[in-house]
């Protein structure tokens, strides 16, 4: 039975990246790179490196766990298992290294693969948002501020906004990689004392074999500000997905009902209310975002390790790295499904534009009074006049346009009709969308 829902319920291809067996493979990859480097530099026999490389393939996960149960040290269990398989070359396994030379360097390899998956799925989301922005750049809807009707906008604007945020998150991850894809081969407290006079050469060659950059200075571990930055960037992605999901949830409310998640013919919304059509996928995205954000706090607290290192980061990192990446990837996959199946209810969109009987055009009316009348009405005076008319319209239940025609004779009725045409009051929305999606 699985303890964590990330083992069974919220599963993506990311799970394989953070699986303990894959972690073992990465550890072995670093050990092999170290052995090859020692052989090239003449520190160990060349055939010893070949034997270690061959032995790494034969190391079983089960044997490593068996040894770990005896010695209570997971990395050293791998070293012993590899040494067993390497025969006489086992004497050269892990030469000069400390545990976190292997673990932190291998972690960078894991992060490289994990970030690549996030980037792939984030790119897919960006493409979907771009398509939706272009498709709906003329779909006029009411804009809302403070939960209240404001002035018209378009659905294209909404999706273009999310698209640009997705691009920024991609940029953040790309920028972050140069600080997270680093390794170390610097020994117990980072002085390289165990590697002798060729220490820099050893570290450089190992990292070159692995496709990483060497950290310029470490103590026993690679510094955790790097990891905290990465988890923060993953949380940025999660927060963006929550933003989109929350908007969908709100717009799917019964009283609004402008858009909705897709709903299959056999899908059940409630165990007791057969009529329910709940935005449960979007709610799940919002729920998991809270988990990812919480993990940022833990990652930040891991920065301040004592002296040259302590183990207070170790246990929680077994949780927060896998959990954050798997949760974020699951959210990306879910959000793409949500967006691909999103339903639009155009009649409700139009209905909501007129819900306030023209009050949402009060801003346009105020501006018209300052620009059209001869002489133009002072802005503050126009604001006060329209404010009083809006209050009267709301209290009486009359359309603001009718009151304006009745009380502001200086404006021609056709001009008033144009002022209250909601579809024509979206400014440069179409061009803004085109500009945003062209990048």
Residues forming the active site: 146, 270
Contact 393/400 with Cβ under 8 angstroms?
Answer: yes
Classify 149 as helix, strand or coil. strand
**C-alpha to C-alpha distance for 245 and 251, rounded to whole angstroms:** 10
Classify 205 as helix, strand or coil. helix
Which residue, among 78, 1, 47, 4, has the nearest Cα to 323 in the 3D structure?
4
Angle value at C-alpha 152, between 426 and 432, nearest 5 degrees: 40
**C-alpha to C-alpha distance for 261 and 162, rounded to whole angstroms:** 17
**C-alpha to C-alpha distance for 295 and 230, rounded to whole angstroms:** 11
Contact 51/17 with Cβ under 8 angstroms?
Answer: no
Classify 144 as helix, strand or coil. strand
**C-alpha to C-alpha distance for 251 and 342, rounded to whole angstroms:** 11
Q: How many CB atoms lie within 10 A of CB 1?
A: 4
């Amino acid at each position: 039975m699985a303890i964590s829902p990330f083992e069974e319920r919220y599963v993506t291809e990311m799970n394989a990246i953070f699986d303990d067996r894959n972690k073992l493979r990465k550890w072995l990859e670093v050990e092999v790179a170290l052995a090859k480097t020692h052989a090239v530099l003449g520190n160990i026999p060349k055939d010893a490196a070949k034997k270690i490389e061959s032995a790494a393939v034969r190391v079983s996960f089960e044997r490593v766990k068996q040894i770990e149960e005896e010695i209570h040290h997971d990395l050293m269990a791998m070293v012993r298992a590899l040494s067993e398989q390497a025969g006489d070359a086992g004497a050269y396994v892990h030469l000069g290294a400390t545990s976190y030379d292997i673990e932190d360097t291998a972690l960078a390899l894991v992060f490289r693969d994990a970030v690549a998956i996030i980037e792939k799925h984030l790119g897919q989301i960006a493409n979907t948002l771009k398509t939706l922005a272009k498709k709906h750049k003329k779909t006029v809807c009411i804009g809302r501020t403070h939960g209240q009707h404001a002035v018209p906008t378009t659905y294209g604007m909404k999706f273009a906004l999310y698209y640009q945020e997705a691009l920024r998150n991609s940029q953040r991850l790309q920028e972050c990689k140069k600080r997270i894809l680093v390794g170390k081969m610097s020994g117990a407290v980072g002085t390289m004392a165990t590697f002798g006079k060729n220490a820099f050469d050893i570290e450089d060659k190992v990292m070159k074999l692995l496709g990483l950059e060497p950290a310029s200075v470490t103590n026993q571990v690679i510094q955790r500000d790097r990891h905290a930055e990465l988890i923060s960037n993953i949380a940025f992605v999660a927060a963006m997905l929550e933003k989109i999901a929350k908007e969908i949830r709100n717009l799917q409310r019964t009283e609004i009902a402008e858009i909705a998640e897709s709903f299959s013919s056999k899908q059940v919304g409630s165990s007791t209310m057969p009529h329910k059509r709940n935005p449960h996928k979007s709610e799940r995205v919002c729920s998991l975002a809270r988990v990812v954000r919480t993990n940022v706090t833990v990652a930040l607290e891991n920065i301040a390790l004592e002296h040259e290192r302590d183990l207070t980061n170790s246990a929680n990192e077994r949780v927060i790295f896998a959990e954050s990446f798997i949760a974020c990837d699951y959210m990306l996959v879910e959000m793409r499904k949500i967006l691909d199946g999103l339903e639009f209810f155009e009649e409700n969109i139009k209905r909501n534009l007129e819900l306030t009987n023209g009050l949402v055009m009060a801003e346009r009316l105020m501006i018209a009074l300052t620009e059209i009348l001869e002489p133009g009405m002072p802005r503050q005076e126009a604001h006060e006049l329209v404010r009083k008319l809006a209050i009267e319209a709301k209290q009486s239940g009359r359309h603001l346009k009718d009151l304006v025609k009745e009380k502001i004779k200086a404006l021609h009725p056709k001009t008033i009709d144009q002022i209250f045409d909601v579809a024509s009051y979206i400014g440069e929305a179409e061009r803004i969308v085109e500009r945003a999606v062209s990048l």
